[in-house]
Structure 1
Amino acid sequence: MAAVREHGPGVSVAEMAASAGITKPVLYRHFTDRADLQLAVGRRAAEDLMAKMAPALMEDLAPVDQIAGVVDAFLAGIEEEPQLWRFVVHNTVEREAGGEVVEDVRAQIAQLLAQLIGARLRSAGKDSGAAEAWAYGLVGMVQSAGDWWLERQTMSRADLTRYLTALIWNGAAGVLGEEGAPGKVLQLIPKEGTGG
């Protein structure tokens, strides 16, 4: 992981071994090939990202605060570890090995969101049949927006969190029939001086 942070997503196995203070043959005693090594790094990076997001997913917060917390935790995670994120998600050399980890993390997050969304819909007396589809859609949207933002950095993390939260909350509030929902709380236009 240190080698990925230093050398980026295109890090070589030799650079990884050197970073660990060992030779490539010693490294290959622990990992069958580069794909196996990438999978191990991906799993560890995914665990770290899930640990950052878990509090917002598990806390009993108001829906809009929970959305903002999850979105911000995800964005903070990829902002703090951009090279690891790129190595796991966008490494074209070993895409399939990393893809397995990415899909697993997406599924974990989506399943937690589906439970939360389903519970909120049921408590509002609404049909919860769309909860899982919406959860996967939200995960994909936030990941895609996070990728875009990480590459361009055209706005602050706070602004992107607010924009995504507004989009998600405005949709959720409409479905849940939340009175007076988003207008006053979540506006899409940033406050003066915050960029965007």
Structure 2
Amino acid sequence: MAEEGTPRSWDRRARAREEFIDAAYRVIDAHGPRPSMNDIAQEAGATKPRLYRHFEDKADLYKAIADRTTNDVYKLVAPRFNFLLTTPHEALHHAITGYAEVVAEHPNVFRFLADGELKQDGGGSALSLDVERDLTNRLAGVASTIFDSVSADVSDVRFTARAAVGIMVSTTDLWLESSKGAAKPDPEYFVDQVAPLVWGVLDAFLRRNGIELDPTEPLYLALARIKSP
């Protein structure tokens, strides 16, 4: 048996946490966005006291579910995709599709994130805002890296990144509502509705900073012009 505090015990605890998160997903998928801790523990084949040995409280588990959602989106969007070799429209379509596919796979999890709260120290914050912040930080980081690579002097990208992510998150419930009765929400429909709105925000930001991008031209060509004196 691994001693507490050893790498082996940490791995065991990490696996146990993941199993509880998996169980939470299954409960939410099957029964809706208001899961009970008892149901989650039972689905994982454990007791509620054991669940609480791996999560400080309900908020800790809920935060882990939000983190899983964000990571799932990022894993679909980022790996093996070179944004510089694609057009802005293609890159935008790819990114929004990744988000939509995660939501379409687990629509009740999104409803859970939209309805749930992280309550700490007497206050509360919507879990969906937690997801928005994480996605915003990642998007802003990618954008900053791209602009820094061509020494482009642009204003703070975080506001624009938050607006772009906010459009996606805030319109998701409309998409899910319009998909009632369907076997699964259609990601392409969501992308068709949302991509022009997000591009409008991004294009306005770029133009305000003196940058004009042809949305049908590979991004590396536009960046080369920006870098040229």
Instruction: Return the TM-score normalized by structure 2.
Output: 0.63
Structure 1 residue 28 corresponds to structure 2 residue 52: yes
Q: 2:138 aligns with which of 99, 109, 126?
A: 109
Q: Which runs of 5+ in 2 are unaligned?
A: 1-24, 217-229
SS at match of 1:22: coil
Write out per-residue CA displacement over residues 130-188 of structure 1, whole angstroms, 9 at most, x where no aligned residue: 53322221111121122321233289432331232223335655724346x68xxxxxx
Give the root-mean-square deviation of aligned CA atoms: 3.2
Segment of structure 1 superposing worse, 89-98 or 103-112: 89-98
Structure 1 residue 143 corresponds to structure 2 residue 165: no
**Aligned residues: percent identity?**
26
Structure 1 residue 83 corresponds to structure 2 residue 108: yes
Rounded Cα–Cα distance in structure 2 between residues aligned with 1:112 and 1:56: 18
Which residue pairs with 2:187 in the alignment? 157
> Aligned partner of 2:100: which letter?
L
Write out per-residue CA displacement over residues 18-46 of structure 1, whole angstroms, 9 at most, x where no aligned residue: 10011112212222221122122222222
Q: Count how many residue pairs are aligned between Structure 1 and Structure 2.
A: 178
Structure 1 residue 7 corresponds to structure 2 residue 31: yes
Segment of structure 1 superposing worse, 20-29 or 97-106: 97-106
In structure 2, the CA distance between the partners of 1:32 and 1:173, relative to structure 1 (3 Å rule), is closer
Rg comparison, structure with higher value: 2
Instruction: Return the TM-score normalized by structure 1.
Output: 0.72
Q: Which runs of 5+ in 1 are unaligned?
A: 183-196
